[in-house]
Amino acid sequence: MKQSRNFYPVLFCLFAAFALFSGCTGGNEKSNPLPPSEPAATTDADTSQSATPAAKKEHTTTVEIKGMKFNPEVVTIHKGDTVEWVNNDLTAHCVTEKARKWASPAIASGSSWKKVVTENTDYFCAIHVVMNGRIKVE
Amino acid sequence: MKKQITSRRSALLLSAMFLLFSSFSFAQKSKATKLSDAEIASVAVAANQIDIDAAQLAQQKSKNAEVRNFAKTMIADHQSVIDKATALVTRLGVTPKNNAVTRQLQANAKKTLAGLRAKSGAAFDKAYVQNEVAYHKAVIAAVDNTLIPDAQNAELKGLLQTVSPVLHTHLEHAQMVAKDLK
Query: Would the ipTM clear 0.85, i.e. be above it?
Result: no
Cβ of residue A92 closer than 8 Å to a chain B Cβ: yes
What percentage of chain B exceeds 90 in pLDDT? Answer: 81
Residue spans of alpha helices (H) in B33-153: 37-61, 65-92, 100-117, 121-142, 148-150
DSSP code, position B63: -
pLDDT in tens, B80-130: 999 999 999 999 999 999 999 999 999 999 999 999 999 999 999 999 999
pLDDT in tens, B35-47: 999 999 999 999 9
With 60 as the cut, is the pLDDT of residue A93 above it? yes
A130–B173 C-beta distance less than 8 A: yes
Out of A90, A126, A129, the one facing B166 most closely (by C-beta) is: A90
Give the predicted TM-score (pTM) of the model: 0.74
With 50 as the cut, is the pLDDT of residue A119 above it? yes
Cβ of residue A25 closer than 8 Å to a chain B Cβ: no
State how far the Cα of A113 lies from the Cα of A104, in Å rounded to an integer: 7
Q: Which residues of A touch B76 (CB under 8 A)?
A: 91-92, 127
Integer-rounded Cα Rg, in Å, for chain A is: 27
B169–A68 C-beta distance less than 8 A: yes
State how far the Cα of A69 lies from the Cα of B164, in Å rounded to an integer: 13
**A108 to chain B: closest CA residue:** B80
Cβ of residue A111 closer than 8 Å to a chain B Cβ: no
**Average pLDDT in the A67-84 region?**
98
To the nearest whole Å, the CA of A124 is away from the closest chain B CA by: 13
Mutate to test the interface with B, among A64, A65, A66, A68 (most CBs of B within 10 A): A68
- Among positive and negative, which fits the CA dihedral B44, B181, B130, A130? positive
Per the DSSP assignment, residues forming a β-bridge with A118 are none
DSSP code, position B18: G
Which H, E and C letters describe chain A, residue by residue?
Answer: CHHHHHHHHHHHHHHHHHHHHHHHHHHHHHHCCCCCCCCHHHHHHHHHHHHCCCCCCCCEEEEEEECCEEECCEEEECCCCEEEEEECCCCCECCEECCCCCECCCECCCCEEEEECCCCEEEECCCCCCCEEEEEEC
B176–A68 C-beta distance less than 8 A: no
